[in-house]
Amino acid sequence: DPSAWKAIYQNKAFIRPSQWRGKPPGVQADSLISASVEDHVRFRKVLAPAFSEKAVNLYEPIVGKYVDDLIESLGREIESDGGETVVDIVRWLNFATFDIISDLGWGESFQCLEKQDYHPWITVILQFQALMVAAALSYYPFLERLVSYITPKSALAGLNLVLSTSETNVKSRLRRKTDRADIMSYIMQHNTSSPETGISEAEMITNSMALIVAGSETLTAALTGTINNLLSHPKQMERLVEELRSSFASES
């Protein structure tokens, strides 16, 4: 129903259950996920310019570089076995999307495509099942206390890695003087021009973590589904190939 658009996407209250506003152990600052209504509005005002049409157009050379790297890497992978190689496309797409969003978000790539492997930060952040379980347990305070009591400290090692890496990357980007447009450049511009509505360094760290995940795993899932459907429907695949190759004279 058309009225759903307003109810879902223009809901100013944006109130979520308290159980889903929890933060990981050791994290004090809110992100877009855990923020109150007031903070959520403030975060969105700071971040909105980074996702405008103008900003996205400026990101194109960065995105294009990693797309080229992905295509070249896949080409080498296929040619290495006479074209009979089975390619794990999920893994390769994950490499590309994480490289793109880490470069746009922090100004530094995870170099997954170059190293053909996941960065340790990624292997930890992909384990979202634990976050879902934690949120579900928060509906049952007794169980939540019990689980937190019996959970060994070693289980938090991955979380500490995520937090420390995120903090290091944000601090590094803040120190770097560059005219290149990325998500952090728009945050820094807002903090300079409107410090009274800006976000703190701690909030930059937590929000950048959310953006890295939102801009990588979701896109990987969408692209993987698209490729799977194309491979399952040869006629549509042929039509797409024909449209692309008749519309563009070169790969560039």
The pLDDT tens digits along the chain (252 residues) read 888 888 888 776 667 777 777 777 778 899 998 898 889 989 999 999 999 999 999 999 999 999 999 999 999 888 887 767 888 999 999 999 999 999 999 999 999 999 999 988 887 776 666 777 877 888 888 888 888 788 777 777 777 888 899 999 999 999 998 889 999 999 999 999 999 999 999 999 999 998 998 889 899 999 999 999 999 999 999 999 999 999 999 888
Residue 143 confidence (pLDDT) = 86
Residue 223 confidence (pLDDT) = 96
Residue 128 confidence (pLDDT) = 64
Site of tokens 């996920």: 33
238: left (phi over 0), alpha (psi -120 to 50) or beta: alpha
The pTM of the full predicted model, rounded to 2 decimals, is 0.86
Residue 153 confidence (pLDDT) = 77
CB 106 within 8 A of CB 119: no
Which tokens belong to 142? 């007794």
- Percent of the chain predicted with pLDDT > 70: 96
Which tokens belong to 244? 């692309």
What confidence tens digit (pLDDT) does each residue in 216-252 have?
989 999 999 999 999 999 999 999 999 999 999 988 8
Which tokens belong to 71? 């295509």
Residue 100 confidence (pLDDT) = 96
Rounded distance, CA 51 to CA 59, Å? 10
SS3 assignment, position 11: coil
Residue 60 confidence (pLDDT) = 95
| b/e 170-194 (16+ beta carbons within 10 angstroms → b) | beebeeeeeeebbbbbbbeebbeee
Distances (CA, A) of 103 to 54, 167, 207, 211, 216: 18, 15, 15, 12, 12
Residue 213 confidence (pLDDT) = 87
